[in-house]
A and B are shown apart, each in its own frame.
Chain A
Amino acid sequence: MRRLTLSISVLALVVAACTQAADQTTTTAAGGQPSGQGLLATVQDRGTLLCGVNDAVPGFGFRNPDGTFSGFDIDYCKAVAAAVLGDADAVEYVPLTAQQRFTALQSGEIDVLIRNTTWTASRDGGEGATFLHTTFYDGQGMMVRADSGITTIEELEGSAICVLSGTTTELNLATRMAGIDYTPLTFEDNETLQSAFVAGQCEGWTSDKSQLAGVRSNFPEAEGGPESLVILEETFSKEPLGPVVRDGDSQWAQVVDWVVLATIQAEEFGITSQNIDTFADTDDNAIRRFLGLEITDDEGNTTVFDPGLGLPTDFASRVIRAVGNYAEIYDRNVGPNTPLGLERGLNALWTDGGLLYAPPYR
């Protein structure tokens, strides 16, 4: 009898396990490509974009006290919604932890993941994810208290370092600290990590430098404010951050990719949300193509350029009107005049010595 009860309970457990796992995958089937329909059409039918975001990194993805979201990544969610749905506010933000994000993407819980996610080969290959054009070129750094007098990572020998669990940051830290004795304290969310750091449990806090700058800018005055923290000089990893979509829907991937590229191209053309109306009668056909304006050929026929991305021909102007070009998004959220105060650096246009380069729009 006892044995029977045991085997039944084991069986029940396996059933429960499978149901859970299957739950996820059935949602994939439902949320992903129902009956061969692409995600683009699904999103347009639904009328809202499900955007997986961060809610705890000021400047990138942050939930304000009033419940709204703001930040660099949030603006890209808005840009995609503006391009696909014509309404930058038709976004449902899904806050995710670092550990949840890929499962949420795989299971179809979100349409696109824009959550300071680093593009790596194994994620591209193993997570069923497609990484799109990088929106922010970042690198990992280390933040310490100014009064600790620490200036190099080697000086952290023997102390504890706080790091978010399940991130590339954690892997880079282990690589960087090879041969240095330290105690990694891994936390699941930024709030607990910050409490531990404030309490002095850990001497160093490692993350992408942009995130550290965000946290530093928002550091409570009661704990000494931003001036009490120093981000060390050294950058010890490449962290290209950008949107991620599910594998297997190249149309949707193109759509999100070209929304990002449009913001970059707009900056290259010098088109901003403020001056876009002045381009209505421009003679530059490259700009007319880009903004979806009518082009008159030598025989007097007017056409509107449609590259066949599945997007409305005027998607770029919708995006620019909604969130502005790359420079505007950058300056509004993380630029030198924000609390984060990040210089453009690698994130400048290629014409200014940076890495931003959009393929020709023709």
Chain B
Amino acid sequence: MTARPPLWRDLRVIRAAAQVAALVAVGLLLYVLWFNLTNNLRRLGITTGFDFLDLPSGVNVADNPISPGAPLRRTLLVGIKNTFALVVVGIPLLTVIGVLVGVARLSTNWLVAKAAAIYVETLRNIPPLLVIFFVFFAVILQLPPPRTPLVFGGLVVSNLRITVPWVETGPGADLYGWALVGGLLVAGGVAWWRTRVYERTGRPHHRVLWAISILGVVAVAGWFLLDGPIRPSLPVVDGQRVSGGFSGLGAYYAMLSALVLYTASHVAEIVRGSILAVPKGQTEAALALALSPFQRLRHVILPQAMRIAIPPIISQYLNYTKNTSLGIAVGYAEITLIVFQAIGNGRPAPQSILLLMGAYLVFSLTISALVNYLNRRLRYVTN
């Protein structure tokens, strides 16, 4: 039997003790900070709880029916919704633009490659706030004022808001929605069945064609049976107001386009790097199989490159999400603006900022969880 070293020289004991010590130190630090914070707040007579969330916010929010009498937490939700509106539209857009530009930078066409390079190098090297200011002051504010909006082809454009044709729902819209969902499920099932048939027999599957036809039949038949449950809605100018269509504030479009263009330049670089990281032999093998340039990209290069690209792209998604907080600079009522507004109107700053940080944390963790899930699904299966 080997003799155990004395306690103070036992590596396992030392490690455990070090961890306990670190934990205690962190705990103490937190306690001191918390004590200091609450003590100072109490001394200044500032509330330390979160009851203020139930008091009325007292403010209106642009393009939202929420009343000034609604409790602050509901106004905060409106802010989260506005942040969300930037995120859900922006992330797919910036991904598409980023991939296109990244591929374009590697194009053998001199003009395409140089144009992409100029785009990337310009936007990547400017702080996002400046991009936002540029778009807001030099593009959005230069549009005609809402008194004399620009109207063309169903589009109503002013620097206050941009309205595009949209759809309006009539009676039966809910039913129609469910019919579409049902059609989608059937189409998916048929596609799956066609794939099985193809795998068993080798006959062409035509699964996309099948699925689209089924969905198309459901959509058209349903629309006629329910007597037009959704119809196009064209914007109509009425004084300074615009009714119908889908409206977005100028500040929203400024934020969206500036941040999408900015973040896409980073994504483009990631995509370019990832494509270059795919071994050259893969391209040569694809050439040997006589694949067309598009097929080469679609079936050989991009599937491998995107696997490399996903982790760094996630962090760009997170950057994008956090940068939406710059909306405060151009008056877009996202969550940061709403929180700062509340602080300005007398709500306690420490708690409000804590809530704000919590909101961004939830946003970021959700996005990275979703994309990490995707990443795991897309990993090479080796068995």
Contacts and interface: CB of A to CB of B under 8 A. Distances in A.
Contact of B43 (A171, A196, A248): A248
Given A166-B340, A186-B333, A18 B30 contact: yes
A177 B62 CA distance: 13
B355 to A, nearest CB: 11
Interface string A149-169: 000000000111000011110
A188 B46 CA distance: 24
A185 B47 CA distance: 30
Contacts, number: 167
Contacts of B137: 195
A26 B39 CA distance: 11
A244 to B, nearest CB: 13
A13 interface: yes
Interface residues of B, number: 59
Interface stretch (B140-148, B215-223, B312-320): B140-148
A128 B45 contact: yes
Given A22-B36, A184-B60, A126 B47 contact: yes
A55 interface: no
A277 B355 CA distance: 59
Nearest to A189: B329
Contacts of A158: 238-241
A14 B34 CA distance: 11
Contacts of B353: 17, 20-21
A184 B346 contact: no
Nearest to A168: B345
B68 A175 contact: yes
B46 A25 contact: no
B344 interface: yes
A22 B37 contact: yes
A226 to B, nearest CB: 20
Classify the interface of chain A: helix, strand, loop or mixed: helix
Place the interface of chain A in its size category: 35 or more
Nearest to B68: A174
A43 to B, nearest CB: 19
B160 A183 contact: yes
B340 A165 contact: yes
A49 B344 CA distance: 24
B142 A199 contact: yes
Interface stretch (A86-94, A98-106, A264-272, A310-318): A98-106
Interface in A1-57: 6, 10-11, 13-15, 17-22, 24-26, 28-29
A171 B59 CA distance: 6
Given A170-B59, A183-B62, A14 B30 contact: yes
A117 to B, nearest CB: 11
Chain B CB within 10 Å, residue with most, of A22, A29, A178: A22
Given A127-B46, A248-B44, A203 B240 contact: yes
Interface string B341-375: 11111101110011001000100010000000000
A184 B62 contact: yes
A171 B354 contact: no
A237 interface: no
Q: Which one of B45, B145, B329, B331 has the highest number of Cβ atoms from chain A below 10 Å of its Cβ?
A: B331
B345 A171 contact: yes
Contacts of A128: 44-46
A6 B372 CA distance: 13
Contact of A28 (B44, B59, B333): B44
Contacts of B179: none
Contact of B146 (A19, A26, A200): A200
Nearest to B137: A195
B62 A185 contact: yes
A320 interface: no
Task: Choose among A11, A19, A160, A171 the residue with the greatest number of B CB atoms under 10 Å from its CB.
Answer: A160
B331 A192 contact: yes
A197 B141 CA distance: 10
A25 B346 contact: no
A161 to B, nearest CB: 9
B250 A201 contact: yes
A123 B342 CA distance: 12
A25 B41 contact: yes
Nearest to B61: A184
Interface string A76-96: 000000000000000000000
Interface in B299-335: 328-331, 333
Given A102-B349, A166-B344, 7 more contacts: A17-B353, A28-B40, A29-B40, A158-B241, A183-B249, A186-B333, A200-B146
28 contacts: A21-B33, A21-B350, A28-B44, A99-B341, A99-B344, A126-B45, A126-B47, A127-B46, A128-B45, A158-B238, A159-B240, A165-B331, A166-B342, A167-B344, A171-B58, A174-B60, A177-B60, A178-B68, A183-B63, A188-B331, A195-B137, A195-B141, A199-B142, A199-B145, A200-B144, A201-B250, A203-B146, A203-B240
Give the 7 A-B CB pairs with smallest separation, nearest first.
Answer: A166-B344, A200-B145, A128-B44, A25-B40, A199-B141, A18-B33, A174-B68
Interface of B: 26, 29-30, 33-34, 36-37, 39-41, 43-47, 58-63, 68, 137, 141-142, 144-147, 159-160, 238-241, 249-251, 328-331, 333, 337, 340-346, 348-350, 353-354, 357, 361, 365
